[in-house]
Amino acid sequence: MPKTPFALAAALCCLSSTTALHALSLADFQTCIGPSGVGTTCQLSSGTYTLSTPLVIGRSGITVEGGVWQSPTRTVLRRGASGLYALMEGSTGITSVTVRDLMFDGNRYGFGTRGAGISCITTEQFGKVDLDLSQGGTFTVEWLDFINAPETALHLAGISTAVAFSNFGMGGAGIKPDGTSGTLTDMESATRFTAVYISGYQSGAYYNSVCNAGTAGTTLDGQYQYVYGNYLGRDRYEISDGSGGGQLTLWPGPWGTAAFASVTGNVINGDYWPTSTSTLATGCTLPTSQISSGVEANGTGHRFFNNEIEQNTSDGMSVNLGNSTGQITVSSTNPWYANDAPRYIEANSSNGITFLAPPRFNNHIEGVALHDVLVSGNGGYGVFFQNTADYGTTHVGFMYDYGVKGACIQSNAGLAVGGDTQWYAPSSMYPDNYSSYQGGSNNCPQRWVTQTPAPSNMPGWPW
C-alpha cells in the first residue's frame, strides 16, 4: 500500500538538532562520508568549498550536514571545474542517509559569461546533476539551497525518499551573469533545466520553494509519489529545451512512466511568463512563441487535490500529452487536511483544465473524476475535453460529485468554437446536473488574497 504524504513528512517535521560527531575540513568530510568513515554524523564546517571532484557518499545510515542547523547558506559547495558532473553523489547500494544544511552552487557562470561556458547549456549537453542521489536507496534531503545549477539541481530515486524545506533558484551570493560577484537575484540564480527530478517509488517533495527552473520545477516519473505543500513559481523560466511544458510534469520518461501520484496543497504560479517582451536575467536566449502550463500530466491514477494553479500562459492543467493516460481525479478538497483553505485553478491564459487526445498515440482518456472542483476566470474554457472526432478516439468514463463545498466552474472566457463559456465536451460527457457546475455567489468559496501552500507547521519555514 502507498504511504500517506505524512508518513514521510511527519519525520521531517519532528527532527531536532543533533550533536555532530565530526566538525571537519573538506578532506576529513570526504573521509567521513566515504566507505571507511566512522560515526553517524559527518558535519562540514561553515565556509565556501570549491570542488574539482565530486563528494561521494559511500556508506549507509549517516547524516551528512553543513555547519549550522537549518542555515544552508553558511556552508556552500561550489563547482570548481566546468566538466564536473556532480557536486555530491551517492554510491550504489547505500541507503538511510540524510543530507541537510548545505548550499549547492552549480556555478554556471563561473566558466564564461553571457552564454559562454556552461551557463547556457543546451539539450545536447545534458549530464550535470548538482546533487545526484539517483542510484537507489532511501534518502532524506532537507534544508538545502540550490543556486546556479547548469543543468539539473537534484535527482532522487529509490524508495521512500524525500526532499523538504529546501529552496531552488531563490537567490544567494555567487558569480553573476556579467562576471561580477555579489548577491544574485532570484532569476539570476535560476536552475538551467529541471530543479527537482524524482524517480523511484513512494518518494516525494514536501514544503519546498521551487522557482525559476528552466524546464519543469518538479518532474515525476515513478510510482506512488507525493508533491505536497510546495510553492512553484515562474518555472520554465528559460525554456531551455526549446519547448513549452508544465511547471510540474508527470512524465513518461526514460526511467519509467509516472503513475498514482498525489499532488496536494501546492501553489503553482506561472507569473504570466514568458511575456512577449521577456528577457532573461541569466543572459541566455529565450525561445520565441512558447507558452507553458501549470501542470503537464501523463500516466495513470494521478490525483490532484486542492492546488492553486494560476497565471500560466497556457492551460492551468494539460492532461494526456504523451502516453496512455487515465483514472485522473481533480478536486479542490485536501483529504489530509480538512481545514485547508480552498484553492482555485484560475487566471490562466488558456483553459483551466484540458484533457487531450494526442495524435501522436491516438489515445483516449479512460476515467476522469472532478470532485468539488473550483475553476474560474481562465482565458478559455473552465474544463475542455478535446474534440476527439479529429483523431477517431473517444474519451471513456466521467464522474462528478457536487459535494459539501460545491463545485464552481464560472467566469471563464470560452473559445470561438462550439460549447458554452464554461465547459466543452462531447454531449455524452456532460454531468446530468451540469447546472450545479455553473457556479454562483452561493456556492463559490472565497478566494485567498495571498496564495500559500498547505501549512507545514515547521518553525523557521515561511508557511
Q: What residue ranges do the domains of the chain occupy? A: 5-343
Which band of pLDDT confidence, cut at 50, 70 and 90, is reported for residue 344? very high
| pTM given for the model | 0.92
Residue type, 53: T
Q: How large is the average pLDDT for residues 214-224?
A: 95
Q: How large is the average pLDDT for residues 407-433?
A: 60
Q: What is the pLDDT of residue 63?
A: 97
Q: How large is the average pLDDT for residues 121-127?
A: 81
Q: What is the pLDDT of residue 306?
A: 95
Residue type, 289: S
Residue type, 444: C
127-145 burial, b at 16+ Cβ within 10 Å, e below that, comes to ebbbbbbbbbbbbbbbbbb
Q: What is the pLDDT of residue 20?
A: 57
Among the listed residues 33, 35, 39, 29, the one whose alpha carbon sits nearest the alpha carbon of residue 75: 29
Among the listed residues 256, 248, 204, the one whose alpha carbon sits nearest the alpha carbon of residue 225: 204
CB 269 within 8 A of CB 232: yes
pLDDT tens column, 2-13:
455 555 555 555
Answer yes or no: is pLDDT of 167 > 50. yes
Which band of pLDDT confidence, cut at 50, 70 and 90, is reported for residue 376? confident
Q: What is the pLDDT of residue 90?
A: 97
Residue with cell 458554452: 420
Q: How large is the average pLDDT for residues 119-134?
A: 90
pLDDT tens column, 258-289:
899 999 999 999 999 998 777 899 999 998 88
164-168, 251-255, 314-318: the lowest-pLDDT one: 251-255
> Using CA atoms, how far apart are residues 412 and 351, in angstroms rounded to an integer?
8
- Find all residues with CB under 8 Å of 140, minimum gap 6, and list them: 11, 12, 97, 98, 99, 100, 161, 162, 164
Pick the CATH number of 5-343 from 2.160.20.10, 2.70.150.10, 3.90.180.10, 3.40.50.300: 2.160.20.10
> Using CA atoms, how far apart are residues 64 and 457, in angstroms rounded to an integer?
24
Distances (CA, A) of 381 to 129, 200, 413, 422, 434: 39, 35, 6, 5, 15
> Using CA atoms, how far apart are residues 298 and 276, in angstroms rounded to an integer?
29
Answer yes or no: is pLDDT of 436 > 60. no
Q: How large is the average pLDDT for residues 247-260?
A: 79
Higher-confidence residue of 362 and 157: namely 157
Among the listed residues 307, 14, 57, 87, the one whose alpha carbon sits nearest the alpha carbon of residue 158: 57
3-class DSSP state for residue 435?
A: helix
pLDDT tens column, 346-374:
999 999 998 886 544 455 667 788 888 88
